Amino acid sequence: KNEVEQSPQNLTAQEGEFITINCSYSVGISALHWLQQHPGGGIVSLFMLSSGKKKHGRLIATINIQEKHSSLHITASHPRDSAVYICAVTPRGSQGNLIFGKGTKLSVKP
Amino acid sequence: DAGVIQSPRHEVTEMGQEVTLRCKPISGHDYLFWYRQTMMRGLELLIYFNNNVPIDDSGMPEDRFSAKMPNASFSTLKIQPSEPRDSAVYFCASRQRRTGTGKVYVGKDTQYFGPGTRLTVL
């Protein structure tokens, strides 16, 4: 079993829809990260969370430490949001190395 | 700052050849990570350095892989000899000191990724 599991693997949405991507992990962590990888391949950090909720623009990330679960929400989705979204965790006690989920491929249709 | 710089962006080589991938981290960052991404396994940590010292190389697949960081602004990942199963995208990432500051929605532990090197071993 992978230490970081994401669902769904693939997601197709219509422009304007509210999107949720889920991430569950099985190890103790000091932080959880959401990353975005565009078709060109570049990887960008969206959020780093250790508790609660963070918001940036149309993106919201939440984490429940007790349940070892995080969600990434996209409100009013747009075709430019199409990308692979990757959940990653920093194991507790580590110096910042990441363990990654397999990613969720999101396609937003106009 | 130009961000994390990797070279080459694409590399095609034949089995058995030596391959060297290069990375220049963001100035002032004291952690450097090497990752590999494949369709089957996704992103995996290979090795990371702190202040030019290797901290954890448990992700390095085998002795054919080696990584060095001779100074704070340069790191190499070498594969010798290369095999077709080494074909992947190799990413380098760097991170600033924990006592640094970051943007509101990302923290001081945020890693900044290079554009990657797509390696094809024939």
- Of chain A residues 19-58, which have a CB less than 8 A from chain B? 31, 33, 35, 41-48, 50, 54-56
Query: Distance (Å, rounded) from C-alpha B46 to C-alpha B19?
Result: 16
Query: Distance (Å, rounded) from C-alpha A36 to C-alpha B42?
Result: 14
Residue A61, exposed/middle/buried by CB under 10 A (0-12, 13-18, 19+)? buried
For residues A63-102, b (16+ Cβ closer than 10 Å) or e, as one string? beeeebebbbbbeebeeebbbbbbbbbbbeebebbbbbbb
Degrees (nearest 5) of the Cα angle A67, A10, B89? 95
Q: Peptide bond preceding B25: is omega within 30 degrees of 0, i.e. cis?
A: no
Q: Measured between alpha carbons, how far apart are the two ends of chain A, in Å? A: 36
Predicted confidence band of residue A25 (pLDDT cuts 50, 70, 90):
very high
> Is the CB of residue A97 less than 8 Å away from at least one CB of chain B?
yes
Low-confidence ranges of chain B (pLDDT < 70): 1, 97-108
- Of chain B residues 80-99, which have a CB less than 8 A from chain A? 89, 91, 93, 95
Higher pLDDT, A16 or A97: A16
Phi/psi at B62 (5° precision): -165, 180
pLDDT digits (tens, 9 = 90+) for B10-41: 999 999 999 999 999 999 888 999 999 998 88
Average pLDDT, integer, range A3-23: 97
Phi/psi at B106 (5° precision): -125, 150
Helix (H, G, I), strand (E, B) or coil at A79: helix
User: Element (H or E) spanning B77, and its range?
Assistant: strand B74-79
> Is the CB of residue A86 less than 8 Å away from at least one CB of chain B?
yes
Query: Scanning the structure block, which residue is given the tokens 């390696």?
Result: B119
> Is the CB of residue A93 less than 8 Å away from at least one CB of chain B?
no
Query: Distance (Å, rounded) from C-alpha A75 to C-alpha A63?
Result: 17
> Is the CB of residue A88 less than 8 Å away from at least one CB of chain B?
yes
Contact B118 A41 (CB under 8 A): yes
| Beta-carbon count within 10 A of B61 CB | 13
pLDDT digits (tens, 9 = 90+) for A43-101: 999 999 889 999 999 999 999 999 999 999 999 999 999 999 999 999 888 777 889 99
